[in-house]
């Protein structure tokens, strides 16, 4: 049985890929409520509770860790959640495939690749580095089979809470000005959600992927302004791009915890942020979805929501 922790956009992308392959899938969230296709089992469990986490993983063969605490609670709860998931995976003797971001690298001049050391420049980066190092150690100690797939800020169908989620795409499909973080004329890698999900499934099916970190496939990096302009062209609307800096985030942070938590990560949007995913493509022969196609699919989803 394939067990997917979470029912967010990435978890759903993993689910679609597994269903496409004819695999049995069980998904877990804290409410027991989600829109899943017939044949996919959905169960309720609190992953912050070790007993519930262990019980729900009991018969799993492969576990995909796509669940995260709320962003403004991420720092305080992530370690506890991971410890519970690790305990459950070890008890079931399942393989664990973990989705991660890129916070642990900190500010990098040039491209970000898997051989770089952890050099976090934020509190969340320090936490992410510690979590990742613990997983790799468990694998090296022979306690748990772990493969790690890392993606950048992602976009795509069902992706709403992202730097290129609702705040970005909803205005675009309405022909209004979109808002982006930081300097729109700096290069920034964005990960298409379906490429991320497919990559995690692919990692789970290759023994040599375990014990390693992999950057999932990404299209060629362009500036955020170019990214937005391409989206506006697909919609057939003139491009209008506004930027949000640290000052606006601080002001928003007085009322919105997520905005306050985003401030320390602004270095990713104030400088070029270029992710190298050649290791994955070279090993598996898999290329990312072309950016224009990925944007078209995303816009199609947003348009379907606005017309429903």
Residue 283 in any domain: the answer is no
Residue 101 in any domain: the answer is yes
Q: Same domain, yes or no, for 47 and 139?
A: yes
Q: Same domain, yes or no, for 179 and 79?
A: no
Q: What is the domain-level CATH number for residue 259?
A: 3.90.25
Q: Same domain, yes or no, for 92 and 164?
A: no
Cα distance between residue 132 and residue 268, in whole Å: 20
pLDDT at residue 245 in the model: 75
Q: Same domain, yes or no, for 145 and 168?
A: no
Domain that includes residue 302, residue range = 156-188+221-271+290-307
Q: Same domain, yes or no, for 170 and 296?
A: yes
Q: Same domain, yes or no, for 105 and 30?
A: yes
∠ CA 41-13-44 to the nearest 5 degrees? 30
Instruction: Give the pair of three-digit tokens for residue 249.
Output: 């985030």
Cα distance between residue 89 and residue 100, in whole Å: 17
Residue 163 in any domain: the answer is yes
Confidence of residue 307 (pLDDT cuts 50, 70, 90): low
Residue 279 in any domain: the answer is no
Q: Same domain, yes or no, for 103 and 141?
A: yes
For the chain, give the mean pLDDT: 94
Determine what percent of the chain is predicted with pLDDT higher than 90: 87
Q: What is the domain-level CATH number for residue 138?
A: 3.40.50.720
- Domain tally, the chain: 2
Q: Same domain, yes or no, for 126 and 83?
A: yes
Residues 14-38 have pLDDT tens digits of 999 999 999 999 999 999 999 999 9
∠ CA 243-246-249 to the nearest 5 degrees? 85
Cα distance between residue 107 and residue 251, in whole Å: 24
More confident residue, 183 or 68: 183
Residue 277 in any domain: the answer is no
- Provide the greatest CA pair distance for the chain: 55
Cα distance between residue 116 and residue 74, in whole Å: 24
pLDDT at residue 254 in the model: 47
Residue 281 in any domain: the answer is no
The four Cα atoms 261, 129, 18, 69 give a dihedral, to 10 degrees, of -30
Reduced to 3 states (helix: H, G, I; strand: E, B; else coil), residue 304 is helix
Q: Same domain, yes or no, for 109 and 43?
A: yes
Q: Same domain, yes or no, for 106 and 253?
A: no
Residues 86-128 have pLDDT tens digits of 999 999 999 999 999 999 999 999 999 999 999 999 999 999 9
Residue 276 in any domain: the answer is no
Residue 296 in any domain: the answer is yes
132 closest CA partner among 119, 221, 121: 119
Cα distance between residue 36 and residue 48, in whole Å: 23
Confidence of residue 71 (pLDDT cuts 50, 70, 90): confident
Residues 120-171 have pLDDT tens digits of 999 999 999 999 999 999 999 999 999 999 999 999 999 998 999 999 999 9
Residues 235-288 have pLDDT tens digits of 999 999 999 877 766 766 545 666 667 788 899 999 999 999 999 999 999 999
Q: Same domain, yes or no, for 85 and 177?
A: no
Q: Same domain, yes or no, for 61 and 88?
A: yes
């Amino acid at each position: 049985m394939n067990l997917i922790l979470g029912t967010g956009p990435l978890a759903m992308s993993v689910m679609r890929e597994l269903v496409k392959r004819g695999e049995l899938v069980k998904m877990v969230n804290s409410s027991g409520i989600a829109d899943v296709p017939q044949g996919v089992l959905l169960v309720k469990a609190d992953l912050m509770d070790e007993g519930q986490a262990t019980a729900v993983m009991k018969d799993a063969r492969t576990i995909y860790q796509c669940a995260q605490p709320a962003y403004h609670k991420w720092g305080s709860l992530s370690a506890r959640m991971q410890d519970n998931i690790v305990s459950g995976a070890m008890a079931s003797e399942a393989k664990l495939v973990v989705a991660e971001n890129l916070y642990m690298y900190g500010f990098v001049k040039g491209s970000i690749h898997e051989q770089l050391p952890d050099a976090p420049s934020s509190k969340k980066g320090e936490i992410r580095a510690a979590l990742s190092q613990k997983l790799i150690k468990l694998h090296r100690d022979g306690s748990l089979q772990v493969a790690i797939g890392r993606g950048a800020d992602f976009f795509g169908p069902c992706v709403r809470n992202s730097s290129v989620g609702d705040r970005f795409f909803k205005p675009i499909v309405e022909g209004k000005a979109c808002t982006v973080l930081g300097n729109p004329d700096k290069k920034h890698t964005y990960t298409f959600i379906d490429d991320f999900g497919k990559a995690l499934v692919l990692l789970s099916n290759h023994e040599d992927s375990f014990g390693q970190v992999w950057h999932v496939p990404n299209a060629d990096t362009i500036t955020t302004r170019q990214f937005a302009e391409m989206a506006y062209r697909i919609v057939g609307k003139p491009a209008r791009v506004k930027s949000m800096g640290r000052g606006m985030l601080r002001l928003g942070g007085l009322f919105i915890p997520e905005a306050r938590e985003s401030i320390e990560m602004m270095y990713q949007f104030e400088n070029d942020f270029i992710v190298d995913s050649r290791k994955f493509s070279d090993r598996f022969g898999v290329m990312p979805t072309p950016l224009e196609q990925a944007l078209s699919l995303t816009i199609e989803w947003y348009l379907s929501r606005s017309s429903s």
